[in-house]
Structure 1
Amino acid sequence: MSAASGGTPPETPLASKLKDRIRREGPISVSEYVRACLYDPDCGYYRRKPAIGAGGDFITAPEISQVFGELIGLWSAVVWQHMGSPPRLDLVELGPGRGTLMADALRATRIVPGFHQALHLHLVESNVTLVPLQRTAIAAHDVSASWSETIEAFVDAVGGTPAPMIVIANEFLDTCAADQYEAHNGEFVLRGVGLDADGELTFTLLPDRRAEPAQAPPRDGNFLEIQDFGFFRPLARLMADRPAAALFIDYGSASAASADTLQAVRGQKSEPPLRSPGEADLSFQVDFARFRRLALETPGLAVDGPVPQGQFLGQLGVVERASRLMAANPAKAAAIELQIQRLMAPTGMGSRFLALGVRSAYLAPLPGLA
């Protein structure tokens, strides 16, 4: 299938770079393609595009309603209290976007005695264009903050100071690249990206690379996606040596998908994943079962969930908080109600997004994830 089937693709800088690489080295795997599209040092989507918000390529839950970030903030404060309200807490956000979630969280938790005084923020952000927006978003709150470009750099920075830690990761797991295998003649064969007869990017199969044999031969056309959650290993080791909790919210499933879930979004519209390398956001549906198994491999960690986002927010009191916000802003009540419906819709974000918590095994189960 050629990218040209959806119209002639623009020759983005990364498209030229990838085509040259494929001509020299041969087809690359889908995971290599996605990593290049998102993280190429010169042309990667997450290196330079401020993509979030009404004027960007996609809108996340914090951009839909301030209540989302407020509840995550209050959730963090309750977890801190369950830790014994320690005098120092590292509050970490992976992929903080425009800083909207963190700003809303900080505003809501001003009422929690001692919480802000204990906080040190760590924002892990690979996109240099977003860091100034994050600084502006949290500037009104008197808390110390630091930035790291990678999780490895963050781990190195805090590894020697074993303070309790809470990690927030909203729509972060879906950016983890996956190897895709397509069933062909009863076997799962690695899917790759090569060039068609016209020199355009196209999906292909790499027959010399196969997945481990399945218990039963797969039906031709089925997919197997194996996401690389390698980022979590150093983070898990860090969590294991201190009181810690992490909250992951993302679009995904509690079991592995048997279909192709790779999607591209540009200008808040879907497009073929090969059309605009480096210019569109690429993501996969998160395999929460696989991520859960990985988290449980680290001694001393326990997992709560996953549960649907609607259930999680409902247990945190989203309706009650929205009602108070509507009463305080009657002119905006209808808009606030629509925002909450969007977050909670059983046929939309309420069920398609899941929440999963990872914690030190000796801590109480995390709120909202029973």
Structure 2
Amino acid sequence: MRAARVSVELTLSERLARQIAAGGPISVAHYMAEANQHYYGTRDPLGAAGDFTTAPEISQMFGELIGLCLADIWMRSGGRPEAHYVELGPGRGTLASDALRSMASAGLRPRVHFVETSPSLRERQSALIPNVSHHDAVSSLPERGPLLVVANEFFDALPVRQLIRVGNEWRERVVVRPDPDEPDRFAPMAGYRRVESGIPAMAADAPEGTILEMPLAGSAIALELAHRIAKQGGAAIIVDYGYEGPATGDTLQAVRAHRYADPFLEPGESDLTTHVDFTMIGNMARQAGLRVTQTVGQGAFLRQLGIDARADQLSRTTPARAEEVEAARHRLTADDAMGTLFKAMAWVHPDWADPAGFEGS
């Protein structure tokens, strides 16, 4: 009699090790994609018990002001009733809940769509917003009606390709497992394949060891989303930490239990991100025919939308929370907190009104 087979599920480290053993080193983009897919698919990473806290979890003011910003654009652009609220990577749904509440106060009650693949987060989101429609990708969003899109800390978690300067050429940066006795430890190194296409002119003479990041996944999603807005009408607000490129440097980082961690240790157990190239995102939107605002700091963006007045109102309404409200306002807007590192940009259909919060753009 044959013995029954026992199925043993491999850990992510074991699966990656097998891939490397079978096919050689893997790209940083592949490593990052595998790690984050496992990470977000197996937990709720937000809050004090998780690994990090995002702006919507800090204060209701963040989502409220973004909702009012989108409602204002919608009203000044004709107020079509069949609008869709779309959020990419919506976390627990906190931002959407706050935004939809402020939209409703302005007479806008859009259908709600989340682009989210994590089963655990989908469950949390549905509990908070029962009428939400979930999507695995931008491609399955409704094809009729304007899209009012929010992407808060979405693009930073998408995989990026990394190149490294070796001598006078660029090579793919790859990931290996250097020591079989440390099964959860991986390491980056320069690959052997020379890369010649897609190198910006500013990096042509970069010194030895320079890292160049190419956000191919983010570019593709941004372009697809921008084409949808160009076809259907609408606007998008993107908030993330990042820079105005092109630029060089290794921005890959890991966060675990609210502390920085080694991104190449225990893949899938920490949040892997890179800084977002806002110039690239804006170029994708322009390529699709959208108007693009200037990139502004999150602090300036929220102040222009009225966070100071809203904070004062909340403090007067609930005096017992005045210190909490002030701490949240500082964290969201101050230069020594999230106000400068985090940035905001908007895309708008060419026939739609200019968004508030980006004056001078």
Which residue number corresponds to residue 154 of structure 2?
172
Secondary structure of the residue that 1:310 maps to in structure 2? helix
Secondary structure of the residue that 1:205 maps to in structure 2? strand
Tell whether the 8 Å contact from 1:37 to 1:45 is kept in structure 2 after alignment: yes
Which residue number corresponds to residue 145 of structure 1?
132
Pairing 1:343–2:332 present: yes
Which residue number corresponds to residue 237 of structure 1?
227
Secondary structure of the residue that 2:294 maps to in structure 1? strand
- What are the Cα deviations for residues 130-158 of structure 1, in whole angstroms up to 9, with x where unaligned? 1121122235xxxx43111222233xxx1
Q: Which of 243, 250, 255 is the equivalent residue of 1:265? A: 255
Provide the rounded CA distance (Å) in 2 between the counterparts of 1:211 and 1:307: 33
- Please tell me the residue identity of whatever aligns with 1:181: L
Secondary structure of the residue that 2:293 maps to in structure 1? strand
Q: Aligned ranges for residues 100-179 of structure 1 at < 5 Å?
A: 100-113=94-107, 115-116=108-109, 119-139=110-130, 144-154=131-141, 158-159=142-143, 162-179=144-161
Q: Aligned ranges for residues 7-26 of structure 1 at < 5 Å?
A: 13-26=11-24
Pairing 1:362–2:347 present: no
- What are the Cα deviations for residues 150-170 of structure 1, in whole angstroms up to 9, with x where unaligned? 22233xxx12xx211110110
Tell whether the 8 Å contact from 2:177 to 2:187 is kept in structure 1 after alignment: yes
Gap runs ≥5 in structure 1: 1-11
Secondary structure of the residue that 2:47 maps to in structure 1? coil
Tell whether the 8 Å contact from 2:148 to 2:236 is kept in structure 1 after alignment: yes
Tell whether the 8 Å contact from 2:73 to 2:354 is kept in structure 1 after alignment: no
Provide the rounded CA distance (Å) in 2 between the counterparts of 1:310 and 1:351: 6
- What are the Cα deviations for residues 95-128 of structure 1, in whole angstroms up to 9, with x where unaligned? 1110110111122233213x12xx1111111111
Which residue number corresponds to residue 286 of structure 2?
296
Provide the rounded CA distance (Å) in 2 between the counterparts of 1:202 and 1:178: 16
Q: Which of 80, 83, 107 is the equivalent residue of 1:89? A: 83
Which residue number corresponds to residue 210 of structure 1?
195
Q: Give me the CA root mean square deviation.
A: 1.6
- Please tell me the residue identity of whatever aligns with 2:187: T
In structure 2, relative to structure 1, the CA distance for the partners of 1:329 and 1:238 (3 Å cut) is same
- Please tell me the residue identity of whatever aligns with 1:204: M
Pairing 1:58–2:52 present: yes
Tell whether the 8 Å contact from 2:155 to 2:276 is kept in structure 1 after alignment: yes
Tell whether the 8 Å contact from 1:48 to 1:129 is kept in structure 2 after alignment: yes
Secondary structure of the residue that 1:349 maps to in structure 2? coil
Matched positions, count: 342
Tell whether the 8 Å contact from 1:83 to 1:243 is kept in structure 2 after alignment: no
Tell whether the 8 Å contact from 2:76 to 2:353 is kept in structure 1 after alignment: yes
- Please tell me the residue identity of whatever aligns with 2:264: L
Provide the rounded CA distance (Å) in 2 between the counterparts of 1:187 and 1:338: 48
- Please tell me the residue identity of whatever aligns with 1:55: A
Secondary structure of the residue that 1:183 maps to in structure 2? strand
> By how many angstroms is 1:197 displaced?
4.5
> By how many angstroms is 1:211 displaced?
4.0
- What are the Cα deviations for residues 198-225 of structure 1, in whole angstroms up to 9, with x where unaligned? 4652111112132446644211122111
Tell whether the 8 Å contact from 2:169 to 2:194 is kept in structure 1 after alignment: no
Pairing 1:27–2:25 present: yes
TM-score by length of 2: 0.91
Pairing 1:287–2:277 present: yes
TM-score by length of 1: 0.88
Tell whether the 8 Å contact from 1:188 to 1:218 is kept in structure 2 after alignment: no
Provide the rounded CA distance (Å) in 2 between the counterparts of 1:197 and 1:309: 43
Provide the rounded CA distance (Å) in 2 between the counterparts of 1:109 and 1:233: 27
- Please tell me the residue identity of whatever aligns with 1:252: G
Which residue number corresponds to residue 174 of structure 2?
192
Q: Which of 195, 211, 236 is the equivalent residue of 1:223? A: 211
Percent of aligned positions that are identical: 36
Provide the rounded CA distance (Å) in 2 between the counterparts of 1:224 and 1:306: 22
- Please tell me the residue identity of whatever aligns with 2:26: I
- What are the Cα deviations for residues 309-331 of structure 1, in whole angstroms up to 9, with x where unaligned? 11110100000001100111111
Secondary structure of the residue that 2:358 maps to in structure 1? coil
In structure 2, relative to structure 1, the CA distance for the partners of 1:255 and 1:348 (3 Å cut) is farther
Larger mean Cα displacement after TM superposition, 328-337 or 127-136 = 127-136
> By how many angstroms is 1:293 displaced?
1.3
Tell whether the 8 Å contact from 2:116 to 2:134 is kept in structure 1 after alignment: yes
Tell whether the 8 Å contact from 1:187 to 1:217 is kept in structure 2 after alignment: no
Which residue number corresponds to residue 6 of structure 2?
none
Secondary structure of the residue that 2:331 maps to in structure 1? helix
> By how many angstroms is 1:274 displaced?
0.9
